[in-house]
Amino acid sequence: MKKSSFPTPQDCETAFYEALEAADLEAMMEVWAEDEEIVCVHPGWPRLSGLEQIRANWAKIFASGERLKVQLSEPVCTQGMMLAVHNVHENILVAGEKARRPPVVTTNVYLRTATGWRMVVHHASVGPQPAGPEREPPTKTLH
Over residues 70-108, the pLDDT tens digits come to: 999 999 999 999 999 999 999 999 888 877 788 999 999
Could you give the C-alpha distances from 77 to 74, 102, 120, 138, in angstroms and in order?
Answer: 10, 21, 15, 24
* Residue 134 in domain: no
Neighbours of 9 (CB within 10 A): 23
Percent share of the chain, pLDDT over 70: 88
Q: Is residue 91 part of a domain?
A: yes
92, part of any domain: yes
- CATH code for the domain in which residue 78 is found: 3.10.450.50
Helices (H), 23-127: 25-31, 50-63
Residue 141 in this model has a pLDDT that exceeds 50: no
pLDDT of residue 2: 66
132 belongs to a structural domain: no
Side chain identity at 10, as an amino acid letter? Q
Q: Which helix (H) or strand (E) holds 9?
A: helix 9-22
Report yes or no on 42 lying in a domain. Answer: yes
Give the mean pLDDT of 13-29. Answer: 97
What pTM was computed for the model?
0.86
Query: What distance in Å separates the CA atoms of residue 108 and residue 143, rounded to the nearest whole number?
Result: 23
Task: For residues 52 and 37, give the distance between their C-alpha atoms in angstroms, rounded to a whole number.
Answer: 11
pLDDT tens for 28-68 read 999 999 999 999 999 999 999 999 999 999 999 999 988 89
Domain extent, residue 87, equals: 9-126
Question: What per-residue confidence (pLDDT) applies to 111?
Answer: 98
- pLDDT interval class at 130 (50, 70, 90): low
Count of domains for the chain: 1
pLDDT, greater one: 96 or 18: 18
3-state helix vs strand vs coil in the chain, percent to 5: 25, 35, 40
Is residue 62 included in any domain, yes or no? Answer: yes
Residue 20 domain-assigned (yes or no): yes
Q: Give mean pLDDT, residues 10-35.
A: 97
Give the pLDDT of residue 131: 59
Do the Cβ atoms of 33 and 51 come closer than 8 Å?
A: no
**Under 8 Å CB-to-CB from 134, ≥6 apart: which residues?**
none
Q: Is the dihedral of CA 133, 70, 48, 82 positive or negative?
A: negative
83 found inside a domain: yes
